[in-house]
Structure 1
Amino acid sequence: MVQPQGSKFHVAMFPWLAMGHMTPFLHLANELAQRGHKISFLLPKKAKLQLQDNNLHPDLITLHGLAVPHVEGLPHGTETASEIPIFLNGLLATAMDLMRDQVEESLRGLKPDMVFYDAAHWIPELASHIGFKTVCYKVVSAAAVAIALVPARNVPKDRPLTDAELAEPPQGYPSSTVVLRRHEACALSFIALEFGSGISFYERTTTSMKRCNVIAIRTCQEVEGPMCDYIGNQYGKKVLLTGPVLPEPPKVPLEDRWAKWLDGFAHGSVIFCALGSQWVLEKNQFQELVLGIELTGSPFLVAVKPPSGAATIEEALPEGFEERNRGRGVVYGGWVQQTLMLSHPAVGCFVNHCGFGSMWESLMSNSQIVLVPHLGDQILNTRLLAEELKVAVEVDRDEDGWFSKESLSKGIKSVMDKDSEVGRLLKKNHAKWKEALARPGYMDDYITKFIDNLHEL
């Protein structure tokens, strides 16, 4: 237990209504509370129930459940992004904006010293007449912010950006490798789309960052230092880094059925594949995924949602797949304990989409890393791991972003085969980064410096 030091402050948090944002906000809340600071966490009522077990300091962290109003076009009862397809997120942003009065009333009563937020661009307006400092806390990579969400991007309001414009890094961008290729630029096209009534994603995000007192990013100087410096220069603000803010490994054991299954395989031999909670594959891409993993000849556990149009995983599997792989491979359509899976000694390769959470979990694991990104920020995270840090391999895709079973199998074999020079190099680099990130006191040092910087506010 870290002993509380110095004067204590009261933080309120109101993250974007997605588990991938609320969860890292709560991880940071736990770190602040561990050092004696008080947190008031504003979130949807259903999310409060889902996250309450992750509140490690209920004496100092209070979860306040708010009502999410209905917006025409959203399924009734929608409260978080994980409940809807990604193309409906703009309507969820409208619902979040309609929560402004609830948030204002809560903040007036709570009287926090500072408010952490990301997508609610109107929080600084409340600060001016309630009286608190504002921290715009980004839980995506600095690379994603630096290439897409800086003033130098200059997104026009009167027309959509072309793929050529999107593929061109903004002026002064500090990397020649962490960039989108021309055919991937469409993955960034959403930034110019409406995200909430009358405001684009780009306007919402840049306004949030322009009007805050300070920007904070869930990353570290060693991994993304030049990107963070660039963001600070673009916005003319100090950028505070929290480090990765990874939670302690779960106290619960790996679910018995998975532990027993994995125990039957040799050390480092199993391929584990997980693609996050929001990516629902097309059926033919799902089949290429499982066939590509089958082609490697290694044992495997694939945990993905059923593909679009399929009620279950089983009905979507290629003909004869289950019979061919019985005892060697499992494809599962439910949730699994990803961190615990990665810590099992039998798992030797992690195939993932390189969402920011999975990116850090990849780095902290002992597994080889194979990446099949889908969205713009995932593509940029992938470039960071594969081209800057050289700890992962990216699966080749065609110009439409699709990968084949052959390209997936080739990518996995390139890191899993015992005689692979690529595999040896990546493993060596990965071990160095893991050692640095897992150094005793490394995470604590970041949080301590972050808190010192907050006191300066």
Structure 2
Amino acid sequence: MLEETNSKFHIAMFPWFAVGHMTPFLHLSNELAKRGHKISFFLPRKAVILLENLNLHPNLITFHPVTVPSVASLPPGTETASDIPISDNTFLAAAMDLTRPQLEVSLQAMRPDFVFYDNAHWIPQVARPLGIRTVCYNVVSAAAIAIVLVPARKATLGKPLTEEELRRPPEGYPSKRVVLRGSEARSLIFVTLPFGDSITFLGRTTTAMGECDAIAMRTCQEIEGDLCAYVSSQYGKPVFLTGPVLPEPAMKTLDEKWAEWLGRFKPGSVVFCAFGSQHVLEKGHFQELLLGFESTGLPFLVALRPPIGTNSVEEAFPEGFEERVKGRGVVHGGWVQQPLILSHPSVGCFVNHCGFGSMWESLMCDCQIVMVPHLGDQILNTRLLAEELKVGVEVEREESGRFSKESLCRAIKSVMDEESEVGRLVKKNHAKWREVLVSPNFISGYIDRFIQNLHGLQMKT
């Protein structure tokens, strides 16, 4: 262990009200609790039910439910981003800001050593008078922060950012490959849009990082070290790395339904597709995707939410699709045990949106990687994997940003064909990086160094 003292911290956690943020915060909480540190985890009441089975140390990790106030523009009962379309997140952010009085009362009573947060940019204003250190913990890639938030932070106040400004790497930016192309920059215009009352997503995020005592990132030196150093230099803050913070292999078993179905196919032959808990495709994109899987001729398991305007995946199937793929293709409209499916020996390819969580799961599994990014940070994660690390393939898109069934089929076949030069290259590079990430003490070493950095931050006057 690298800790210089045996003292244990009390850390409060207050992540953005989305499963993709709360879950990584809880994974980090588990690692800290495993080393004896006490965690007070603030989250919406509904989310307690979703996450309680992931709390591996309930004796040290205590969930503190917060009441999410009603906001006129949100459906009654909304508490997390999973309850609403992504376009309504601005109203959920306004609701989160209204929980500030609850956090103020709790932090004043608890007086933890640190508060970890991400989108609640006002946490430093609450914590500083109480002598509590603040850590802005980012669960997106350093690339996303470096290329979007750093140059955008320098933009003239109130001046809208152009696509060219978002696309052009800023002076001193360390990567020539993790950049945006053409119309992709449009996907990042959202940073200038409202995200809560009287604040943009850009204003919220840059304030959160600008006001904290330290920035933390869920990444590692080996993959994004130069980008982390760049962010540190631009914000004038120490940047502490936690490593991937992936959960330990679950002791649970795969549901019998999926174990039985996957067990019908030979090792490494099944293509698995998932795009996260929040992204919902348009019906046309959804159908094009399914036709792409059908045309590969390979067995496939697709787990996606029903497309926009539908109540089930079945009602959006292309005509005749279900009959044509019967016995080799399954489309499921609900939640699945993604890590357990990826570890099944029959699964040989993972088609995903390259959200940061899926990116790490891709790197840690044995499957070939095919990426279909939708949002700005996913595009940058994809660039990192496809062009810097060369461990996977990105599906080609048309100028409009749409992908075709042919381009999806081509990408999958390029990595699944044993004679493919591309497939051999990405498999070799993937194996090399996976060996690094799963090596003994790699993840635990990052956590130990992270705790040592917290001790150093605490000792600063």
Which TM-score band applies after superposition, normalised by the shorter structure? over 0.9
Map of 2:55 onto structure 1: 55
Give 1:131 shift.
1.6
The DSSP-based 3-state class of the residue aligned with 1:7 is: coil
Q: Given that residues 4 and 452 in structure 2 are in contact (C-alpha distance below 8 angstroms), is that contact kept between their aligned partners in structure 1? A: no
The within-5 A match list for 1:15-30 is 15-30=15-30
The DSSP-based 3-state class of the residue aligned with 1:150 is: helix
The within-5 A match list for 1:6-21 is 6-21=6-21
The DSSP-based 3-state class of the residue aligned with 1:135 is: strand
Map of 1:70 onto structure 2: 70
Distance between the aligned counterparts of 1:290 and 1:167, measured in 2? 31
Map of 1:166 onto structure 2: 166
Distance between the aligned counterparts of 2:365 and 2:220, measured in 1? 18
Distance between the aligned counterparts of 1:321 and 1:246, measured in 2? 37
Q: Given that residues 127 and 134 in structure 1 are in contact (C-alpha distance below 8 angstroms), is that contact kept between their aligned partners in structure 2? A: yes
Give 1:432 shift.
0.4
The DSSP-based 3-state class of the residue aligned with 2:169 is: coil
Distance between the aligned counterparts of 2:171 and 2:3, measured in 1? 44
Map of 1:312 onto structure 2: 312
Q: Given that residues 240 and 453 in structure 1 are in contact (C-alpha distance below 8 angstroms), is that contact kept between their aligned partners in structure 2? A: yes
Give 1:33 shift.
0.4
Give 1:5 shift.
6.5
Distance between the aligned counterparts of 2:399 and 2:183, measured in 1? 5
Distance between the aligned counterparts of 1:65 and 1:180, measured in 2? 39
Map of 1:432 onto structure 2: 432
Distance between the aligned counterparts of 2:438 and 2:191, measured in 1? 35
Give 1:379 shift.
0.3
Give 1:168 shift.
1.2
Distance between the aligned counterparts of 1:394 and 1:446, measured in 2? 29
Map of 1:448 onto structure 2: 448
Give 1:249 shift.
1.7
Distance between the aligned counterparts of 1:439 and 1:72, measured in 2? 50
Write the letter of the residue equivalent to 2:344: H
How many residues are paired up?
Answer: 457
Q: Give ranges in structure 2 of 5+ residues lacking alignment.
A: none
1:117 aligns with 2:117: yes
Q: Given that residues 107 and 127 in structure 2 are in contact (C-alpha distance below 8 angstroms), is that contact kept between their aligned partners in structure 1? A: no
Give 1:270 shift.
0.4
Q: Given that residues 395 and 411 in structure 1 are in contact (C-alpha distance below 8 angstroms), is that contact kept between their aligned partners in structure 2? A: yes
The DSSP-based 3-state class of the residue aligned with 1:70 is: coil
The within-5 A match list for 1:366-381 is 366-381=366-381
Distance between the aligned counterparts of 2:396 and 2:16, measured in 1? 32
Structure 1 vs Structure 2 CA RMSD: 1.4
Map of 1:105 onto structure 2: 105
Distance between the aligned counterparts of 2:5 and 2:435, measured in 1? 28
Give 1:152 shift.
6.0
Which range moves more in the overlay, 65-74 or 154-163? Answer: 154-163
Distance between the aligned counterparts of 1:155 and 1:103, measured in 2? 32
Q: Given that residues 3 and 449 in structure 2 are in contact (C-alpha distance below 8 angstroms), is that contact kept between their aligned partners in structure 1? A: no
- Is the alpha carbon distance of 1:22 and 1:4 closer, same or farther for their aligned partners in structure 2, counting shifts above 3 Å? farther
- Is the alpha carbon distance of 1:99 and 1:324 closer, same or farther for their aligned partners in structure 2, counting shifts above 3 Å? same
Superposed CA deviations along residues 298-320 of structure 1, whole A, max 9, x for unmatched, are 00001101111111111100111
Which range moves more in the overlay, 151-160 or 372-381? Answer: 151-160
Distance between the aligned counterparts of 1:71 and 1:181, measured in 2? 37
Distance between the aligned counterparts of 1:90 and 1:351, measured in 2? 29
Map of 2:406 onto structure 1: 406
Distance between the aligned counterparts of 2:3 and 2:202, measured in 1? 41
Distance between the aligned counterparts of 2:272 and 2:174, measured in 1? 34
1:332 aligns with 2:332: yes
Write the letter of the residue equivalent to 1:389: L
Map of 2:352 onto structure 1: 352
Superposed CA deviations along residues 371-402 of structure 1, whole A, max 9, x for unmatched, are 00000000000000000000000000112221
Superposed CA deviations along residues 72-96 of structure 1, whole A, max 9, x for unmatched, are 1111111111111011111111111
Q: Given that residues 3 and 448 in structure 2 are in contact (C-alpha distance below 8 angstroms), is that contact kept between their aligned partners in structure 1? A: no
Q: Given that residues 272 and 351 in structure 1 are in contact (C-alpha distance below 8 angstroms), is that contact kept between their aligned partners in structure 2? A: yes
Map of 2:391 onto structure 1: 391
Write the letter of the residue equivalent to 2:213: N
1:341 aligns with 2:346: no
The DSSP-based 3-state class of the residue aligned with 1:381 is: helix
Give 1:332 shift.
0.8
Distance between the aligned counterparts of 2:157 and 2:46, measured in 1? 36
Q: Given that residues 143 and 224 in structure 1 are in contact (C-alpha distance below 8 angstroms), is that contact kept between their aligned partners in structure 2? A: yes
Write the letter of the residue equivalent to 1:355: G
Q: Given that residues 173 and 230 in structure 1 are in contact (C-alpha distance below 8 angstroms), is that contact kept between their aligned partners in structure 2? A: yes
Distance between the aligned counterparts of 1:11 and 1:280, measured in 2? 35
Distance between the aligned counterparts of 2:128 and 2:219, measured in 1? 29
Give 1:157 shift.
3.9
Distance between the aligned counterparts of 1:370 and 1:427, measured in 2? 12
Distance between the aligned counterparts of 2:384 and 2:153, measured in 1? 20
Map of 1:223 onto structure 2: 223
Q: Give ranges in structure 1 of 5+ residues lacking alignment.
A: none
Distance between the aligned counterparts of 2:4 and 2:342, measured in 1? 33
Superposed CA deviations along residues 271-329 of structure 1, whole A, max 9, x for unmatched, are 00111111111111101101001111100001101111111111100111111111011
The DSSP-based 3-state class of the residue aligned with 1:354 is: coil
Q: Given that residues 44 and 79 in structure 1 are in contact (C-alpha distance below 8 angstroms), is that contact kept between their aligned partners in structure 2? A: yes
Give 1:109 shift.
1.0
- Is the alpha carbon distance of 1:254 and 1:4 closer, same or farther for their aligned partners in structure 2, counting shifts above 3 Å? farther
Distance between the aligned counterparts of 1:272 and 1:260, measured in 2? 15
Distance between the aligned counterparts of 1:140 and 1:275, measured in 2? 16
Write the letter of the residue equivalent to 2:59: D
TM-score normalised over the length of structure 2 = 0.97
Distance between the aligned counterparts of 2:143 and 2:396, measured in 1? 21
The DSSP-based 3-state class of the residue aligned with 1:143 is: helix
1:35 aligns with 2:63: no
The DSSP-based 3-state class of the residue aligned with 1:254 is: coil
Q: Given that residues 184 and 399 in structure 1 are in contact (C-alpha distance below 8 angstroms), is that contact kept between their aligned partners in structure 2? A: no
Distance between the aligned counterparts of 1:4 and 1:222, measured in 2? 24
